[in-house]
């Protein structure tokens, strides 16, 4: 099997292993994710997770697998309490059983391999005990408090910084994508966004394309696994297509991922757009980008550029897969995006198609950990 620049670790990618092996590796000691963060020094930060859903729980597992992390998870805000929090982090239908010792200590605490974590339950961030717990960074994973008025409630409650695990609303919250613009991070930022999983899956290789060949314009389609925002059976939803049964349909819907690339690559503003097709798979998605390039290109030149970046500046962020793989093979892949080299094609000499896979939960959550590590590394 041939891969280039697959993961942030020195170990083989999880795409090369059985599912059982992938699950077992969730507790293996790992290096810090993105190279951008690895060499930095800063403050050991206390972290609270607000919203213990898919990304919140993936974040915890990713954090648990890190060696020498600068993050210390001290609290989780989950409306289900200790019983639900401990059960759902231990047993996961996508990730499998968490090979860690998860216990309920008392009515307000659980432990992960002996590490005590306080469980609080409040829908109002202003009522959360961040000051009393000495929380430095809040991982905002509810999808609700994604603008300045909402996210700043965590600051009022005593936290020092907020990392939003979704596209932020409003122009006053900076967006960072590891491998793209994280070098522009300022420690004065109190609230930051990690963008969306699809923007993280798209922006790194779009940067390579624009830097090497120039992008005139382009359209993107992400074939995206269904998410908790959809309905199991037909039911009311503000998006009439998402109101239909997620496991029975291909559901066309909107995505701001392509336009959001301009938040981290401003030179591409107005040049990219796209749609999403939600499909009946629980995890792993694939993005199909078609662009017009400024320079004449060949498929071999494009793949060579990806391989060079995957082995260099984008190691741990970008990968290149040369085997004929399918979505399950990218489950629990640590990187943000994996180019399917065999599907790179050129029409004429300036119309280019690139297809890339991404684990929209695990890979994205690794970048959330990386962004929180970046905050800690630059702490003053």
Active site residues: 197
Q: Please give the full DSSP string across 318-359, using - where no structure is assigned.
A: EEEE-S---GGGGTT--SSEEEEGGG-EEETTTEEEEEEEE-
Give the residues across from 253 on adjacent strands.
Answer: 276
Residue pointed to by tokens 């991404």:
358
Decide the pairing of beta strands 285-293 and 337-340: unpaired
Q: What is the CA radius of gyration of the chain?
A: 20
- Binding positions are 54-55, 78, 123, 165, 196-198, 227, 255-256, 278, 360
- Binding positions for NAD(+) are 54-55, 78, 123, 165, 360
Please give the backbone phi and psi of residue 195, each rounded to the nearest 5 degrees, phi first: 60, -165
Helix axes 81-90, 54-64, angle to 10 degrees: 60
Residue pointed to by tokens 């992008």:
215
Per residue, what are the HEC states of 69-87?
A: CCEEEEEEECCCHHHHHHH
Sign of CA dihedral 31, 151, 227, 273: negative
- Binding positions for D-glyceraldehyde 3-phosphate are 196-198, 227, 255-256, 278
Structure tokens at 22: 């992938």
Alpha helices, DSSP H only, in the chain? Answer: 19-24, 35-38, 54-64, 81-90, 130-133, 148-156, 197-212, 257-264, 299-310, 362-377
Please give the backbone phi and psi of residue 193, each rounded to the nearest 5 degrees, phi first: -115, 140
């Amino acid at each position: 099997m041939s891969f280039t620049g697959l993961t942030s670790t020195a170990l083989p990618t999880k795409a090369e292993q059985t599912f059982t092996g992938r699950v077992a590796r969730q507790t293996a000691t790992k290096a810090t994710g993105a190279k951008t963060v690895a060499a930095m020094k800063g403050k050991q930060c206390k972290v609270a997770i607000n919203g213990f859903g898919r990304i919140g729980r993936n974040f915890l597992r990713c954090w648990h697998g890190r060696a020498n992390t600068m993050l210390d998870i001290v609290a989780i805000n989950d409306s289900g309490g200790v019983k639900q929090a401990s059960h759902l982090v231990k047993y996961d239908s996508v990730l499998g059983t968490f090979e860690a010792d998860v216990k309920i200590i008392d009515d307000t605490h659980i432990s992960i391999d002996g590490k005590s974590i306080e469980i609080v339950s409040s829908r109002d961030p202003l009522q959360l005990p961040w000051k009393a717990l000495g929380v430095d960074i809040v991982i905002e994973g509810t999808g609700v408090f994604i603008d300045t008025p909402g996210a700043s409630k965590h600051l009022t409650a005593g936290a020092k910084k907020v990392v939003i695990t979704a596209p932020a609303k409003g122009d006053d919250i900076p967006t960072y994508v590891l491998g793209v613009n994280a070098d522009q991070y300022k420690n004065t930022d109190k609230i930051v966004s990690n963008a969306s999983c699809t923007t993280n899956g798209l922006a790194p290789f779009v940067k390579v394309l624009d830097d090497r060949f120039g992008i005139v314009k382009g359209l993107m389609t992400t074939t995206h696994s269904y998410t908790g925002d959809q309905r199991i059976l037909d039911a009311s939803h503000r998006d009439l297509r998402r109101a239909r049964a997620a496991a029975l349909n291909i559901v066309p819907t909107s995505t701001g991922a392509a336009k959001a690339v301009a938040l981290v690559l401003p030179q591409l503003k107005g040049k990219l757009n796209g749609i999403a097709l939600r499909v009946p798979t629980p995890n792993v998605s694939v993005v199909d980008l078609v662009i017009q390039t400024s320079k004449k290109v060949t498929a071999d030149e494009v793949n060579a550029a990806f391989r060079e970046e995957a082995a260099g500046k984008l190691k741990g962020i970008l990968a290149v897969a040369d085997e004929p793989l399918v979505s399950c093979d990218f489950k629990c892949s640590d990187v943000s995006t994996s180019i399917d080299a065999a599907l790179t094609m050129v029409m004429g000499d300036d119309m280019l198609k690139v297809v890339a896979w991404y684990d929209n939960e695990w890979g994205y959550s690794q970048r959330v950990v990386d962004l929180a590590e970046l905050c800690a590394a630059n702490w003053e």
